Amino acid sequence: MNSNGRFSMTSDTGRRWSKAHGMMGGVLGLLLAGIGGCASDPPKPAPAITSDEVRSHADKSFGNLKQEEQTHGSDSMVAP
């Protein structure tokens, strides 16, 4: 306590509390970083897509596109 009757952060008690809080925060931070870093699994690589799979998907998409064009093309002919 200083001469005004207030606690001063420059006192020994204030410095000890500040140091203790800093140490507790540091320990807590290290603990959380250790748990988070060790608990997570490493990312798995994406499965490789073969050229046959790419061709198959492209063929299906192209077939759907042709069918959609035929459907919309016949609709436009019916309308006046």
- pLDDT higher than 70, residue 54: yes
> Would you state the structure tokens that stand for residue 15, as one six-digit string?
């410095």
Looking at the chain, the whole-number percentage of residues with pLDDT higher than 70 is 65
> Would you state the structure tokens that stand for residue 46, as one six-digit string?
């994406």
Q: 5-31, pLDDT tens digit by residue?
A: 665 555 666 677 677 777 888 888 888
- pLDDT higher than 90, residue 58: yes
The pTM of the full predicted model, rounded to 2 decimals, is: 0.36
Sign of the dihedral through C-alpha 3, 9, 12, 17: positive
Q: Look at residue 9 in the predicted model and tell me its pLDDT.
A: 54
Q: What is the mean pLDDT of residues 61-78?
A: 81
- Higher-confidence position of 50 and 39: 50
Residue 12 contacts residue 18 (beta carbons within 8 Å)? no
Which residue, 58, 65, 60, is CA-closest to 73? 65
How many other β-carbons are positioned within 10 Å of the β-carbon of residue 70?
10
